[in-house]
């Protein structure tokens, strides 16, 4: 059979949503390359996806349903048939519902696939059931809340705007690992003369692109932004005309930041000297069109939403929004382009089931809830690895009375704790629509190879479960393609200029966010003062510093994506390392490459020690979310993170944890 090349999209939780060209022969994927015609990724992929075929045809793929035959967590299973597996699930659920009610069942899903059809395939089913609702805040809801507090529903600028900026600030974002194609635009702007700064805790891979790297104290970014504003106001560097006509609350802000955020005080909080802060503010004001890209890093703290809000307010002071290329970017949201209710079916929801925050899974599984959680259905997520407070999560998953089903492509930490494991397809075996969250690109995909082994897509799985549970709504039996066809019938002003036929044929397209006069806030202006919030003005909220001396940064790894790609020997780092400054190693008598134990009140994790001059004193960096299978001890990094949530938005606080080492 001849080889042929077809389009697809990277399915993973990455802002870029790159276009793929997939070479297929004889129902096998031979190679995967970047699609030069994709408007944002333009033909390049990251190291992770360049050999996606190794994931798709991995010998580690799950190919048949498995029933647990050993103790929970040991990973001992025997194959069973799909009809048997579905029967067992439906029978067990009927019993649980009869005794405890449907809220005793909790779905747990996140972002294994970002396709809007497969990702949300479980919502209608669990709504129909009346199961507990899951608050999906494990990523960065604090970023959204911080943006909204100031900009309301104003759509984010296109990332391409950065090409017109003359000062680009990458603030708490390791774009070289997590937003590669945006960084490509930054490099282009740099060639045209733009200055680039990073603001981070340690010099990550992105720092090399920048002219200046500002290293700050963890969780101090909100104070830094307010300190910069102080100098802009004090030294008359603000755009008074813009503030008078486009902004609400500048007078009130001025009254607060002049006494409260002088450079000496902000220096004590951030660790930057008053001179550096003053120079930063002056350079920021001198720029014609400064552009700030806010990463998730600084948002994963107990003050995360307020930090983001404080930074989002900054460009308004110099009128950056009025200039081409000026402003700030936290990510795009193009949900309004699609009729998401058609996918999620909120109308199937009767009554108001309780909501459980996914970052508090450990607590939900181990404390007395009313009703108790008696069944957990995990799909395209790996909570045993990615959720905070791993010890508590594993304690919950080990409960003999908890009926756990995991739909997965690989035997993950979570799958090992399942009563039943069901094999899932990869994105090249299903149909979907992908909309990026780092640009406005959208693209539909079709299956390029048949499902591997007996694997089924999320949507096919919920069709089977609906039948078994007697949910007769014809909706459940719609195929992914039928649902996509229905979705494509909706047209709204996001689709202006897009040829629907080409979109339907699989070509990438770029949505246009609807433009309106002014800003999409209640006042129509940028709201530095927001009377609907507890704190009416941006202010600095300190983070808690407990008795442990080192701040733990659990940053993304370059070649894995959360726990995804752990299946790939060619991508995983050789050893699970913790990086610290030589001062921290010496003071504890710890040697390079030795096995060390990191500990705090949450738990203990073994790492190999990496001594790194670049990591500041007081910080420990653990990159990547590992599978326990490849960890030197029996736990991975999230045994050290807590279930505390962000100040607003119910987000996770993965970076807001402290440890010691021995
Ligand atoms: N290679 C790779 N790509 C990924 C992922 C991955 O795991 N690996 N994950 C994907 C997902 S799900 C997401 S949400 C995005 C995340 O993408 P990003 O938002 O870019 O990454 P973050 O993990 O949020 O944070 C990145 C940086 O924030 C810094 N940081 C931590 N605390 C602070 C602080 O208090 N202040 C400042 N200024 N900086 C701080 C960290 O040191 C780190 O360098 O990336 C996606 N892409
Ligand atoms: N310590 C620490 N923890 C973190 C983070 C951190 O920076 N530090 N990052 C956090 C962030 S930002 C996020 S977004 C979360 C991510 O949390 P998750 O969304 O749980 O991310 P993954 O670890 O990538 O797990 C996704 C799983 O879905 C499976 N999968 C892929 N496609 C499909 C499919 O079509 N169907 C089914 N059924 N399964 C599929 C994959 O094989 C993979 O095992 O992790 C969070 N955890
Ligand atoms: S992980 Fe991100 S950068 Fe890599 S191919 Fe996928 S979308 Fe592109
Ligand atoms: Mo995320």
Q: What is the pLDDT of residues 157-175, one digit of tens each?
A: 999 999 999 999 999 999 9
- Does the Cβ of 380 fall within 6 Å of ligand 2? yes
pLDDT tens digits, one per residue of 19-33: 999 999 999 999 999
* Residue of the CA atom closest to atom 3 of ligand 3: 46
CA angle, corner 296, sides to 553 and 120, nearest 5?
115
Give the model's confidence band at 516: pLDDT under 50 very low, under 70 low, under 90 confident, else very high: confident
Write the DSSP symbol of residue 424.
B
Task: Work out the average pLDDT over 399-428.
Answer: 98
Q: What is the mean pLDDT of the chain?
A: 97
- Does the Cβ of 562 fall within 6 Å of ligand 2? yes
Q: Tokens 């090409």 identify what position?
A: 163
Taking the centre of ligand 4 as the mean of its atom positions, its distance from the CA of residue 157, in whole angstroms, is 21
What is d(CA 118, CA 137) in angstroms, rounded to the nearest whole number?
Answer: 19
Q: Which two tokens stand for residue 481?
A: 């393609």
Note the pLDDT of residue 490.
Answer: 79
Q: Which atom of ligand 3 is nearest to the CA of 17?
A: 7
Note the pLDDT of residue 220.
Answer: 98
Task: Work out the average pLDDT over 530-541.
Answer: 98
Q: Which two tokens stand for residue 437?
A: 């969250």
Q: What percent of the chain has pLDDT above 90?
A: 96
The DSSP-derived string for 558-613 is SS-BTTBTTT-TTTS-SS-EEEE-HHHHHHTTPPTT-EEEEE-SS-EEEEEEEE-T
Give the model's confidence band at 368: pLDDT under 50 very low, under 70 low, under 90 confident, else very high: confident
Q: Which domains does the chain have, with CATH numbers?
A: 66-136+335-435+441-510 (3.40.50.740), 141-333 (3.40.228.10), 550-643 (2.40.40.20)
Task: Work out the average pLDDT over 186-196.
Answer: 98
- Does the Cβ of 177 fall within 6 Å of ligand 3? no
Give the model's confidence band at 342: pLDDT under 50 very low, under 70 low, under 90 confident, else very high: very high
Q: Tokens 């930041």 identify what position?
A: 257
Q: Which two tokens stand for residue 1?
A: 């059979």
Taking the centre of ligand 1 as the mean of its atom positions, its distance from the CA of residue 302, in whole angstroms, is 16
Q: What are phi and psi of 349, to 5 degrees?
A: -80, 120
User: With 80 as the cut, is the pLDDT of residue 2 above it?
Assistant: no
- Does the Cβ of 14 fall within 6 Å of ligand 3? yes
**Is the separation of the CB atoms in 187 and 162 below 8 Å?**
no
Note the pLDDT of residue 1.
Answer: 58
Phi-psi region of 435 (alpha: psi -120 to 50; beta: other; left: phi over 0): beta
* Residue of the CA atom closest to atom 42 of ligand 2: 409
Q: What is the pTM of this model?
A: 0.97
Instruction: Give, for ligand 1, the residue of 18, 180, 210, 295 to mutate: max count of ligand atoms closer than 8 Å to Cβ.
Output: 295
Q: Which atom of ligand 3 is nearest to the CA of 14?
A: 2
* Residue of the CA atom closest to atom 9 of ligand 1: 561
* Residue of the CA atom closest to atom 6 of ligand 3: 10
- Does the Cβ of 180 fall within 6 Å of ligand 3? yes
Note the pLDDT of residue 369.
Answer: 80
* Residue of the CA atom closest to atom 7 of ligand 3: 17
Instruction: Give, for ligand 2, the residue of 625, 641, 655, 656 to mutate: max count of ligand atoms closer than 8 Å to Cβ.
Output: 625
Give the model's confidence band at 544: pLDDT under 50 very low, under 70 low, under 90 confident, else very high: confident
């Amino acid at each position: 059979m001849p080889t042929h090349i077809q389009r697809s999209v990277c399915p993973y939780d990455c802002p870029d949503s790159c276009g793929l060209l997939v070479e297929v022969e004889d129902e096998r994927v031979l190679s995967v390359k970047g699609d030069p015609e994709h408007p944002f990724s333009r033909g390049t992929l990251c190291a992770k996806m360049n050999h996606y075929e190794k994931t798709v045809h991995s010998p580690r793929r799950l190919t048949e349903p498995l029933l647990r035959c050993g103790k929970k967590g040991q990973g001992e299973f025997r194959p069973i048939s799909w009809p048997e597996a579905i029967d067992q699930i439906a029978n067990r659920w009927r019993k649980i519902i009869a005794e405890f009610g449907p809220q005793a069942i909790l779905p747990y899903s996140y972002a294994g696939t970002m396709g809007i059809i497969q990702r949300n395939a479980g919502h209608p089913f669990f709504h129909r059931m009346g199961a507990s609702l899951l608050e999906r805040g494990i990523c960065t809801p604090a970023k959204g809340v911080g943006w909204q507090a100031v900009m309301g529903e104003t759509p984010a600028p296109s990332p391409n705007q950065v090409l017109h900026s003359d000062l680009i600030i990458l603030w708490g974002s390791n774009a070289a690992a997590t937003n590669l194609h945006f960084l490509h635009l930054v490099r282009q702007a740099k060639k045209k003369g733009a200055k680039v700064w990073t603001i981070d805790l340690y010099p990550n891979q992105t720092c090399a692109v920048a002219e200046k790297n500002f290293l700050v104290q963890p969780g101090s970014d909100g104070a830094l932004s307010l300190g910069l504003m102080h100098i802009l106001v004090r030294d008359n560097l603000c755009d008074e005309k813009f503030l008078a006509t486009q902004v609400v609350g500048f007078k009130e802000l001025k009254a607060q930041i002049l006494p409260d955020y002088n450079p000496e005080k902000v220096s004590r909080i951030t660790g930057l000297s008053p001179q550096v802060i003053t120079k930063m503010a002056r350079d920021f004001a001198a720029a014609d069109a400064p552009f700030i890209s806010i990463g998730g890093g600084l948002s994963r703290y107990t003050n995360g939403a307020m930090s983001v809000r404080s930074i989002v307010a900054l460009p308004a002071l110099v009128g950056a929004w009025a200039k081409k290329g000026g402003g700030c970017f936290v990510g795009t949201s193009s949900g309004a382009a699609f009729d998401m209710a058609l996918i999620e079916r909120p109308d199937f929801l009767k009554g108001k089931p309780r909501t459980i925050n996914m970052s508090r899974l450990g607590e939900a599984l181990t404390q007395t809830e009313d009703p108790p959680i008696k069944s957990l259905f995990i799909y395209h997520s790996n909570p045993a690895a990615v959720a905070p407070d791993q010890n508590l999560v594993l304690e919950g998953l080990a409960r003999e009375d908890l009926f756990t089903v995991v739909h997965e492509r690989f035997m993950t930490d979570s799958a090992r704790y399942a009563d039943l494991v069901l094999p899932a397809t990869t994105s090249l075996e299903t149909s979907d629509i992908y909309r990026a969250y780092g640009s406005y690109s959208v693209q539909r995909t079709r299956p390029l190879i048949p499902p591997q082994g007996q694997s089924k897509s999320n949507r096919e799985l919920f069709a089977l479960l609906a039948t078994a549970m007697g949910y007769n709504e014809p909706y459940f039996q719609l195929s992914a393609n039928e649902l996509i066809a229905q979705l494509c019938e909706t047209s709204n002003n996001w689709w202006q200029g897009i040829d629907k036929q080409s979109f339907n044929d699989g070509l990438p397209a770029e949505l246009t966010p609807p433009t309106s006069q002014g800003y999409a806030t209640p006042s129509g202006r940028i709201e530095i003062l927001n009377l609907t919030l507890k704190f009416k003005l941006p202010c600095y909220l300190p983070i808690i510093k407990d008795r442990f001396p080192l701040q733990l940064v659990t940053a993304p790894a370059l070649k894995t994506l959360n726990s995804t790609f752990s299946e790939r020997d060619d991508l995983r780092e050789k050893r699970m390392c913790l990086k610290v400054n030589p001062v921290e190693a010496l003071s504890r008598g710890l040697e390079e490459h030795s096995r060390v134990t990191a500990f705090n009140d949450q738990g203990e994790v073994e790492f190999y020690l990496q001594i790194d001059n670049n990591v500041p004193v007081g910080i420990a960096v653990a990159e990547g979310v590992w599978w326990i299978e490849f960890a030197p001890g029996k736990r991975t990094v999230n045994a050290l993170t807590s279930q505390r949530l962000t100040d607003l938005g119910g987000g996770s606080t993965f970076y807001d944890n402290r440890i010691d080492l021995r």
